[in-house]
Structure 1
Amino acid sequence: MGPWRCLLLLPLLAVALRAQQQQFMEYVERRLTLLEERISQWYEQSSRYSTELRDFKNQVLGMLETAEKEREAMRSEAESAAVRVDRLEREVDYLETMAPWGDGPGCCITPGLLSPARSRSARVMYHDCSDTIGSVRAMKILKRFGSTSGLWTKDAAGNLEKIYVFDGTANDTVYVFPRMREFTLFSATRKAARIKLPYPWVGTGHLVYDGHLYYIRQQGSFQVIKFNLANKTVVDSSVFPAEEQIPVFGLSPFTYIEVAADEEGLWAIYATKENEKNICLAKLDPTSLDIEQMWDTPCPRENAEGAFVVCGALHVVYNTRLPSRSRVQCVFDVSGTLSPEDASLVYFPKRYGSHSSMKYSPRERQIYAWDDGYQIIYRMEMKKKLEV
């Protein structure tokens, strides 16, 4: 091809190149336009989503604020209701102390018909002992006061209004509240009188009986101290005549002697190394502290956490080391009138740890229990014995 032909093709090539460049630029512009439209759509959608999310957030915050106000209102109403219920319970407790259960026509002795001396010695016989425990009729958690272990009780044969509290398992001071109402107050110790005893007490096996405090003292051997609550003096004391004593309850190792009262008088529940596996029972003379009779019972110490006596029958309460429901699993009747088939296996609807004390009130037919720092009242349902 000659030079002149090349010169003629150059303009044609230039035109073709410009046409391709123009097409490429148009293609790029179209792509950029589409990309800009998509970015614009994405921005609009993002703005709409952000607006909707902000509106939803504001709506949720409004709902949460309303719910919080309603919750505060409900909490205030609940607190107000709790205060009213607590006030009502205190009033009911006060009325109960004014008219104790059992002071009705079912009493088996009328003190007014006896001579003063006989009335004083027999006035604890308020119920017909043809009855025995059938079940726990009701449970009332009164409050939480003091240490995890302790004892609270009333006078088993005297003033039914006063409340006596032994906080802990070793001390020399007893709290005395004039009525149940003062004890249920939040700052209970402010309403309590304090009795400082001449000798410290140990364990949770003490008892208030006919105006006297019978408590356990350890000084080498164990002593039962009889303390007059009116004139604050020691009336009598007695070394417990059981050698090599051991804790009476396997789950309450701080109690060596449990002094108990029932419709028939005063009892001591204890254990010795001589009969290490089982619990022993003794009948006490409340005046002289002499032991009238002793029994080796078939009730084991293992997993026992407490015991009480009802109409001459020892009821031992068992549990496990892991918290569970407490139950009366062994009953020993000293008179033999309560048949094994008639002895109910009573269950206690316990809610916390382990009972450190259980005090039976024969005139009220209820038990004052101390459960992991909570003070509980168990009201008992009685039934007739089926004699052997």
Structure 2
Amino acid sequence: MLLTAAGRPRGGSRHRGAPRNAAAGPERISQWHEQSSRYSTELRDFKNQVLGMLEAAEKEREALRAEAEGAAVRVDRLEREVDYLETQNPAPPCVEVDETLMEKQVATAKQRKNEKYTKLTDCSDTIASVRAMKILKRFGSSSGLWTKDAAGNSEKIYVFDGTANDTVYVFPRMREFTLFSATRKAARIKLPYPWVGTGHLVYDGHLYYIRQQGPFQVIKFNLANKTVVDSSVFPAEEQIPVFGLSPFTYIEIAADEEGLWAIYATKENEKNICLAKLDPTSLDIEQMWDTPCPRENAEGAFVVCGALHVAYNTRLPSRSRVQCVFDVSGTLAPEDASLVYFPKRYGSHSSMKYSPRERQIYAWDDGYQIIYRMEMKKKLEV
């Protein structure tokens, strides 16, 4: 073997393996193509498998939807059957007007008119301001009423949609009323006589509402057994709408810490609002007052600790405010009462129900259901 001057073999041996390395290149390319083809096949098979699963899931979803729609139809049919069965209950007690009894009630009420009132509780609070406003939702007609039981601990929500009807919606809790736009989650109570206005009240498991036809009757309806317990013709001659801006309400039944009240107006004293204390058991009027609060531009009223609060607005709805307060016990002078403004809203109130248990007002404003939380203070501190 020949050596170079540096002692290395001439020509070198590094080129001997070149043919073998050159042959390995095509093998790797062929192997890559084979693996790539296999991966593509596996990916295509997996994609087809996923598409098949999605198609099966879609068919199952359609089947579940059809089943849910069928269940909804059955529920609606069941509700109609329940409504029909309720209409087949025994006839409620007779509530026809007894003219002699009505005359006696009117005479007794006039004798008690404007007498000094003896407080039943030590409640001495009055409204200082509206602490907060919460808009729950928009439900039903522009006018209506929603409320809880003013005396009990029930969380049920009672909804009177419109100003004349015979069906009350009952939601089990605030959550069901707030989350669901339809009435599917609500029970329906069909009343024996249609109601009129938005002056109704739920108190201690009973519904007190104004009968639509004939003389103005206060109907006491037991919500548990769905029967009329008692009724009374309101002893006030020639009644007129109590609020100038709410012509559909002739009697407003209210509740506070002292019990039940009736807010009304008559032709005899048509400029101002009248107030009466009611016995919740017998519906007798215990006492009556003429108040200095005008009917003109009044849109609603409620009673807090024995003091009537009247809310006013304008013909073109603006910001309503309480600007007349009448305290039956004489503890709070009208000129010392706070002028309470309600936050700017959508229109005008068709109902305002004070809850003495929660110290808040359930209001219906142009189809919106609103809660006003009240800030209270002592009357003597005003």
Which TM-score applies when normalising by structure 1? 0.67
Over 3 Å counting, the alpha-carbon distance change for 1:136 and 1:52 in structure 2 is farther
| Aligned CA distance change for structure 1 residues 251 and 75 (closer, same or farther; 3 Å) | farther
Please give the residue correspondences for 1:1-388 in structure 2 after superposition, counting only pairs within 5 Å. 129-386=123-380
Q: SS state of the match for residue 218, structure 1?
A: coil
1:221 deviates by 1.2
Aligned CA distance change for structure 1 residues 126 and 16 (closer, same or farther; 3 Å): same
CA separation of 1:14 and 1:350: change in aligned 2, threshold 3 A: same
- Mapped contact 2:150–2:356 kept (Cα < 8 A): yes
Question: Does structure 2 conserve the Cα–Cα contact (< 8 Å) formed by 1:263 and 1:310?
Answer: yes
Change in CA separation of 1:310 and 1:86 when aligned onto 2, cut-off 3 Å: farther
The RMSD of aligned alpha carbons is 12.8
Q: Are the equivalent residues in 2 in contact too, given 1:174–1:195 (CA < 8 A)? A: yes
Write the distance in 2 (CA, Å) between the matches of 1:15 and 1:80.
101
Question: CA offsets per residue over residues 348-387 of structure 1, 9 Å max, x none?
Answer: 0131111000000001000000000000000000011117
- Whether contact under 8 Å (1:202, 1:255) holds in the other structure is yes
Name the CA distance, whole Å, in 2 between partners of 1:177 and 1:368. Answer: 15
Verify the 8 A CA contact 2:293 2:310 in the aligned structure 1. Answer: yes
CA contact (8 A) 2:301 2:309 kept: yes
Q: In 2 relative to 1, CA 19–77 (structure 1 residues): closer, same or farther, beyond 3 Å?
A: farther
Structure 1 residues 171 and 47 mapped into 2: Cα distance closer, same or farther (>3 Å)? same
Q: Deviations over 1:265-299 (max 9, x none)?
A: 00000000000000000000000000000000000
TM-score, length basis structure 2: 0.68
**Residues 200-235 of structure 1: per-residue CA shift (max 9 Å, x gap):** 000000000000000001333100000000000000
- Give, in whole Å, the separation in 2 of the partners of 1:170 and 1:296: 28
Any idea what the Cα deviations from partners look like across 1:175-220, whole Å, max 9, x if unmatched? 0000000001233401000000000000000000000000001333
8 A contact 1:93–1:181 mirrored in 2: no
In the alignment of these two chains, the number of paired residues is 348
Please list every run of 5 or more consecutive structure 2 residues that lacks an aligned counterpart in the other structure: 11-26, 95-111
1:19 shift after superposition: 94
SS in 1 for 2:128: strand
Cα deviation, residue 340, structure 1: 2.8
Q: Does the CA-based 8 Å contact 2:155-2:173 persist in structure 1?
A: yes
Kept in 2: contact 1:159–1:211 (CA 8 A): no
* Identical aligned residues as a percent: 91
Which contiguous aligned blocks of 4+ residues in structure 1 show a shift greater than 3 angstroms? 12-20, 37-100, 104-107, 118-128
Could you say if the C-alpha distance between residues 310 and 272 of structure 1 is closer, same or farther in structure 2, counting changes exceeding 3 Å?
Answer: same
Q: Deviation at 1:342? A: 3.2
Counterpart CA distance in 1 for 2:242 and 2:257 is: 23
Which has a greater percent of helix?
A: 1
- Given the superposition, is the C-alpha separation of residues 154 and 127 from structure 1 closer, same or farther in structure 2, using an over 3 Å criterion? farther
Given that 1:138 and 1:380 are in contact with CA atoms closer than 8 Å, whether structure 2 keeps it comes out as: yes
1:10-57 CA distances to partner (integer Å, 9 max, x unpaired)? xx999999999xxxxxxxxxxxxxxxx999999999999999999999
Give the equivalent residue in structure 2 for 1:32: none
Relative to structure 1, the CA distance from residue 87 to residue 133 in structure 2 (aligned partners, 3 Å threshold; closer, same or farther) is farther
Maintained 8 Å contact 2:303/2:309: yes
Look up the SS of the partner of 2:268 in the other structure.
helix
Distance 1:126 1:200 in 2: 33
Cα distance, 1:242 vs. partner? Answer: 0.5
Structure (1 or 2) with the larger CA radius of gyration = 1
Select between 363-372 and 73-82 the one with higher mean Cα deviation: 73-82
Provide the rounded CA distance (Å) in 2 between the counterparts of 1:132 and 1:97: 44
Q: What do the CA deviations read for 1:122-179 (whole angstroms, capped 9, x no partner)?
A: 9999995121100000000000000000000000001330000000000000000000
Determine helix, strand or coil for the equivalent of 2:230.
strand
Deviations 1:293-323 (A, max 9, x none): 0000000000000000000000000000112
Q: Is the 8 A contact 1:206 1:215 kept in 2?
A: yes
Distance 1:63 1:80 in 2: 26
Decide which moves more: 369-378 or 155-164.
155-164
SS in 1 for 2:180: coil
| CA distances 1:314-354 after superposition (whole Å, capped 9, x unpaired) | 00000001121000010000000012343111000131111
The structure-2 alpha-carbon separation of the partners of 1:73 and 1:212, relative to structure 1 and needing over 3 Å to count, comes to closer
Bigger shift: residues 166-175 or 348-357: 348-357
More displaced stretch, 294-303 vs 119-128: 119-128
1:124–1:363: 8 Å Cα contact kept in structure 2?
no
Give yes or no for contact 1:144–1:375 (8 Å, CA) kept in 2. Answer: yes
1:246 and 1:96, CA in 2 relative to 1: closer, same or farther beyond 3 A? Answer: closer
User: Contact 1:90/1:181 (CA < 8 Å) preserved in 2?
Assistant: no
Q: 1:249 to 1:352 in 2, by over 3 A?
A: same
1:254 match: secondary structure: coil
* Alignment CA distance shift 1:165-1:13 (3 Å): closer
CA 160–62 in structure 1, closer or farther in 2 if over 3 Å, else same:
closer
Distance in 1, matches of 2:130 and 2:73, equals 27
Q: Is the 8 A contact 1:308 1:359 kept in 2?
A: yes
Residue 114 of structure 2 contacts residue 288 of structure 2 at CA under 8 Å; is this kept in 1? no
Distance 1:274 1:60, change over 3 A: farther
Instruction: Write out per-residue CA displacement over residues 37-79 of structure 1, whole angstroms, 9 at most, x where no aligned residue.
Output: 9999999999999999999999999999999999999999999
